[in-house]
Amino acid sequence: MIHTHQTAPTQYVEANGIRFAYRRFGKAGGVPIVFNQHFTGTMEHWDPAVTDGFAKDREVILFNNAGVSSSSGEVPTTFEEMGANAIAFIKALGLTQVDVLGFSIGGFIAQEIALQAPDLVKRLVLVGTGPRGGEGVATLTPEAQKIFGATYDDPDHLWLRVHFTHSEKSQVAGREFLKRFRLRSENRDPEVNGKVAPAQIEAIVKWGAPQENPFEYLKSIRQPTLVVNGGKDVIIYSVNSFILQQHLPNAQLILYPDANHGSPYQHPELFVKHVSLFLGA
């Protein structure tokens, strides 16, 4: 049976004393792509239009990092440790080289993976993310504080604000995304517990802390990198994507119009095409 985003069973692998939950599907045989998720997200928060889009040409690996949803353990309070856990997970699958995609704080983890285990990473895709000491990261942006601090009649509607702009076109795309996001009906990941957000926020504050030559470390990330964002990201300001491109030794940048933090979910087909061109289809 060929599995998809909707049918791939949740599997488990043990490493670093953590039982990692993961799903693996798509066309095997090449370099798999490992997805690193955003703030408080689980494997369920990826867009099937994106993951299944990639799965046509390559193997897709989703997982929950330590302490998140169906994975055991605690969420560490630094991205260094989350990166180390992700590396332990990837190696526990017996993989020696992967492409790494990170979305938002998953992009911080992706950078840590490349820094700590450069030989493990062929290419990097950094989506809606930024560098250490990036603009507005340490305190969360005022917009992010407001959006994550609000309550919503339907909790899923949080993501209409996080991932999409106020424009009608973007909101329509957002509602389509929410439908896709609920398509998987069986064996869904549980929502994260109450300890996840505070630990991740503590890590974000440390990552964003002002420091001397904050972008110097990016010179050590030698992998070909694709940086992608919406041009109107209010969660991690779009300028941080420009900064990443300017300071990484080998990075391409793509910014999409009228798109907020979740630009891949607004333009899933175009995003998959752009990333596939970059990864080598």
Which positions lie near a second copy, rule CB under 8 A?
224, 231, 238-239, 242, 245-246, 248-258, 270, 273-274, 277
Burial class (CB in 10 A: 0-12, 13-18, 19+), 143: middle
Nearest approach in angstroms of CB 241 to a second copy is 9
Q: Which is nearer to a second copy, 40 or 240 (CB)?
A: 240
In the bound complex, what is the minimum distance in angstroms from residue 222's beta carbon to a second copy? Answer: 11
Residue among 92 and 239 whose Cβ is closer to a second copy: 239
Q: Name the minimum Å distance from CB 253 to a second copy.
A: 4
Measured from the CB atom, is 220 or 250 closer to a second copy? 250
In degrees, rounded to 5, the angle at the alpha carbon of residue 256 between the alpha carbons of residues 253 and 257 is 140
State the minimum distance, in angstroms, from the CB of residue 219 to a second copy. Answer: 13
Burial string for 164-203 (b: 16+ CB within 10 Å, else e) reads bbeeeebeebbeebbebbeebeeeebeebeeebeebbbeb
Residue placing its CB nearer to a second copy in the complex, 84 or 228: 228
Task: Produce one character per residue of 244-253: b if its CB has 16 or more CB atoms within 10 Å, e if not.
Answer: bbebbeebeb
Min separation Cβ 255 and a second copy, Å? 4
Find the helix packing angle between 105-116 and 79-92, rounded to 10°: 70
Q: Which lies closer to a second copy via its Cβ, residue 79 or residue 237?
A: 237
